[in-house]
Copies of this chain bind each other. A is one copy, B any other.
Amino acid sequence: MPTLNDVAERAGVSTATVSKVLSNTPYVSAATRARVLKAIKETGYYPHLAARALASGKTSIIAVVFPYIYDAIFKDPLVMRILEGIEAVCTEQHYNLLLNTPRLHKGKVDEAYMQLVQSGYVEGLIAIDNVPAMSFAAEAENWGIPTVVLGYHNGDYQVYSDDYQGGQQLLRTVLEHGHTQIGIITTPDEMNQAVARRMQGIHAVFAQSGLPTANLVVVYGEFSSESGAEAAHELLEQNPQLTVIVGLTDRMAIGAMSYLQQNGKQIPTDISVVGYDNIPMAAVSNPPLTTIDQNPVELGQQATELLFKRLNGAEPSTVVLSPALIMRGSLAQR
């Protein structure tokens, strides 16, 4: 593998000069620059990033971390889409993408994660994080790594989808379709702040609806479709009068649909179902699921762009994206 030295010799200049050409320093004569560029092409030189990292602290590596929890985050299609957005911007900026999924231990921070933070590899970090328990972002920031939070963890720099507004939209749509007996499947507040906010948005709209409190029944699932099915069972057993079930994640909503259909219910004729997330499955379920789209690719892009602004010394402010309602066949007029 050719080194800076090889290029310098070939061009008849010092390594310092080659380095300057590489970094686009203005004070290099056009002639020299041309010679160096030629030598780079001829030798097929690529910079050795690990060496550059050591000398300059610039590693060209962005780390993306998300906690390893709750029904295997690797099963969440949203994460993949967010990664897609992150990847797009990183690639465009000639940065590489490192993945880390710290385990959640009580009290102390994951070893491997701390190792990574202090490895000298990470120039900037994006934390996908809606778990209140512990902030991985803060840990990185403490060690001097510019960080952006993708989610609700407090941080000076964050990007999130407005789940409160999404919850409002969802319930408003349900009410507009004439439903007054509503079952909700949510997750425990301490598990996920995004879902918790969706719930707050729902409560806000419901409070203004003038309906009796008893007309909104809430049960808890834990993200998986299985838990959604169980939750639907629980809901209907106690409240056969429900005309709609709102699952605050699509996976739970689809689990609920599955349960309902296996128990002889027609959707949406007998009962409507709506979800949240617009995972790929939502478009091809039977019937297709009415849901809220967070635009995860855009979330990933925005977070990465925010991070690059920070790396370039700017002081960007928090980005909040509005979710969009996706109307499909699983919600009927009542």
- Copies of this subunit: 2
Kindly identify which residue among B83, B100, B284 contacts A254, using a CB–CB cutoff of 8 Å.
Answer: B284
B97 and A100 contacting across the interface, CB-CB below 8 Å: yes
In Å, the complex CA distance between A114 and B48 comes to 12
In Å, the complex CA distance between A121 and B49 comes to 7
Q: Mark A304-321, 1 if CB is under 8 A from B, else 0.
A: 000000000000000000
B84 and A72 contacting across the interface, CB-CB below 8 Å: yes
In Å, the complex CA distance between A114 and B94 comes to 11
- Whether a CB of chain B sits under 8 angstroms from the CB of A185 is no
Write out the residue numbers on chain B whose beta carbons fall within 8 Å of the beta carbon of A47.
119
- Whether a CB of chain B sits under 8 angstroms from the CB of A333 is no
Write out the residue numbers on chain B whose beta carbons fall within 8 Å of the beta carbon of A281.
254, 280-281, 284-285
Q: Mark A106-148, 1 if CB is under 8 A from B, else 0.
A: 0000001011101111000000000000000000000100000
Could you list 27 A-B pairs, sorted by A, with CB under 8 Å?
A: A1-B118, A46-B115, A46-B119, A48-B54, A49-B115, A50-B53, A50-B54, A50-B59, A50-B120, A61-B98, A74-B80, A74-B84, A75-B80, A91-B112, A96-B98, A96-B99, A96-B121, A99-B99, A121-B121, A225-B283, A254-B284, A258-B284, A258-B288, A280-B281, A281-B284, A281-B285, A285-B285
Interface residues of A (CB under 8 A from B): 1, 46-51, 53-54, 59-61, 72, 74-75, 77, 79-81, 83-84, 87, 91, 94, 96-101, 112, 114-116, 118-121, 143, 225, 251, 254-255, 257-258, 261, 280-281, 283-286, 288
